[in-house]
A = this chain, B = another copy of it.
Amino acid sequence: MAEQFYQYSDPDRITGAVDALSAMTEHDRPFTRLVFSDEYKAARAWLQLQFEEIGLECRTDAGGNLIGTRKAASSGEPPRKVIIGSHIDTVAAGGRFDGIAGVIAGLETVHYLNQNNITLPFDIEIIDFLGEELNVWGTSCLGSRHMAGLLNDDLLARKDQDGRQLSDEVHKAGGTGIAATAPRQDAESIIACLELHIEQSNRLEREGIDIGVVIDIPGISRYAITVTGSAGHSGTTRMQERKDALVTASHIVTTIRDFALEISSQDNRHFVATIGRIEVYPNGAAIIPGQVSMILDLRASNAKSRDRFLSSLQLAFAEISSRETCEIGMDPISAASVALMDDTLRTHLANSSEELGLSHISIASGAGHDMAHMSRIAPAAMVFIPCKDGLSHCPDEFATPEAIARGSAVLTHTVLKLAGGDI
């Protein structure tokens, strides 16, 4: 029974797909396939070919999502549908599996259905959601937000440093570039949204578990923090007379880390806070920094912990600002509440794992995912698979093809369960 998942999924085919997508990267910064980049366009063209080769009907929807549909045998109008999806964009210098594994898992399900001539009573949509990773416009999950009716005009009107407006980029990627203030019209007919993803942490690996059935996806809040000091000559401005924005920003960075460490040590629910992006102006070796911009990325499973953290931070900022004679501003960029995965689908995923002889646990997600947005409009659920040392968003990110095959088998098995006696 141990290896019966192989009937559902082919590790060699998975490796081939991972390698093909990995090759489409910024070559001097592997693995980088930013949304809207030339590498991204190439990867989507490649993916569309894969969709077509296995008989999927391809289209790009209003939100720029690439959708391959395997039609139901016979169906009502609108047809019921099961979505299997994830994303193929990466962060800068990211990995080869985050997102990609989930899209490849969708292909594996279709391969299985085709090979076994199975017709289903619902459409299967394999979706490559547009730009899931955080982008230069300060938002993430472009495609799933749009499909859920959550990509508004404010977000689409944002411009990057080069003046590129987000709506124009979505438009060029095949979407309308127009805000979605309501879910897709046929949302009622979606009976399940499923996503496979690498865990991006090390619990499954540490405990030797094949499958994590996700309980919830944490609320992610992002804030723009700006520090305004006074630029000046690094040689002539006395230490006592400086308003060094980078010194102030450094106190902010260490304070955020210290508070987050304290809260996460006290609270056994997920809590992390990170400054990953910082821009210093003018950033010259002989110039005292006059201005610093940073993005605070805050993820909490517990809203009370988040609120406590933010209150402590406000007090600390007031003290730092006064001591360092620099102004500190903090403005929200985006916020999302905790997203609960669908109970019935979670039971199906757990039972499928069991029936396939795979070990499984319930697990909380640390990261955000497209399913967080899809869960607002339809039943959604996720499986996590182990990844090496829990590493993600870096080139060393790794999951075995067997691990992907096991997770993919659980999705396929669950799709068959959803079809029930109708097959």
Q: Is the CB of A254 within 8 A of B254?
A: yes
In the complex, what's the smallest C-beta–C-beta distance from A262 to chain B, in angstroms?
A: 9
Q: With contacts A232-B391, A233-B392, A250-B251 known, is A277 near B284, CB below 8 A?
A: yes
Q: Kindly state whether residue A183 has any CB partner on chain B within 8 Å.
A: no
For A297, the chain B residues whose CB sits under 8 A away are 234-235, 285-286
Instruction: Indicate whether A238 reaches chain B with its CB closer than 8 angstroms.
Output: yes
Q: How far is the CA of A294 from the CA of B199 in the complex (A)?
A: 33
B251 A93 Cβ-Cβ under 8 A: no
Residues from chain B with a CB closer than 8 A to the CB of A227 are none
Bound CA span A283–B309, Å: 23
Is A289 positioned at the interface, with any CB of B under 8 Å from its CB?
yes
Task: List which A221-262 residues lie within 8 A (CB) of chain B.
Answer: 222, 230-241, 244, 246-247, 249-251, 253-254, 257, 260-261
Asked if A313 lies at the interface with its beta carbon under 8 angstroms from chain B, I say no
Residue A274 is within 8 A (CB to CB) of chain B in the complex: yes
A30 → B minimal CB distance (Å): 11
Q: Does A393 contact B (CB under 8 A)?
A: yes
Using Cβ atoms and an 8 Å threshold, which residues of chain B touch A134?
284-286
A104 to chain B: closest CB distance in Å? 20
Q: Is the CB of B286 within 8 A of A393?
A: yes
Nearest-Cβ distance from residue A276 to partner chain B, whole angstroms = 5
Q: How far is the CA of A254 from the CA of B249 in the complex (A)?
A: 10
For residue A199, which residue of chain B has the nearest CB? B236
Q: Indicate if the CB atoms of B278 and A91 lie closer than 8 Å.
A: no
Beta-carbon contact of B367 and A93 below 8 Å: no
Indicate if A394 sits at the interface (CB-CB under 8 A): yes
Q: Which of B237, B271, B284, B365 contacts A91 (CB 8 A)?
A: B284
Q: B residues within 8 A CB of A290? A: 394
Mask for A394-408, Cβ within 8 A of B = 1, else 0? 100000000000000
- The answer to whether the Cβ of A288 comes within 8 Å of any Cβ in the partner chain is yes
Q: Give bound CA distance, A219 to B92, whole Å.
A: 39
Please, which residues of chain B bring their CB within 8 A of the CB of A249? Answer: 250
Closest Cβ neighbor of A202 among chain B residues: B241
Beta-carbon contact of A393 and B264 below 8 Å: no
Using A133-B286, A285-B134, A286-B140 as known contacts, say yes or no to A200 and B278 having CB atoms under 8 A apart: no
- Chain B residues positioned under 8 Å from A260 (CB to CB): 239
What does the 1/0 interface line of A372-414 toward B look like (CB < 8 Å)?
A: 0000000000000000001111100000000000000000000
Question: How far is it, in angstroms, between the C-alpha of A276 and the C-alpha of B249 when the chains are bound?
Answer: 13
A275 within 8 A of B: yes
- The 5 tightest CB contacts between A and B, nearest first, are A236-B366, A250-B250, A235-B367, A200-B236, A234-B274
Q: Which residues of A contact B (CB under 8 A)?
A: 29, 91-94, 98, 133-134, 138, 140, 199-201, 218, 220, 222, 230-241, 244, 246-247, 249-251, 253-254, 257, 260-261, 264-265, 271-278, 280-290, 295, 297, 299, 365-368, 390-394
- Can you show 20 pairs from A to B with CB atoms below 8 A apart? A94-B282, A94-B287, A201-B236, A201-B238, A230-B394, A232-B390, A232-B391, A235-B272, A235-B297, A236-B367, A236-B392, A238-B272, A239-B257, A240-B261, A241-B390, A246-B278, A250-B253, A274-B286, A275-B289, A277-B283
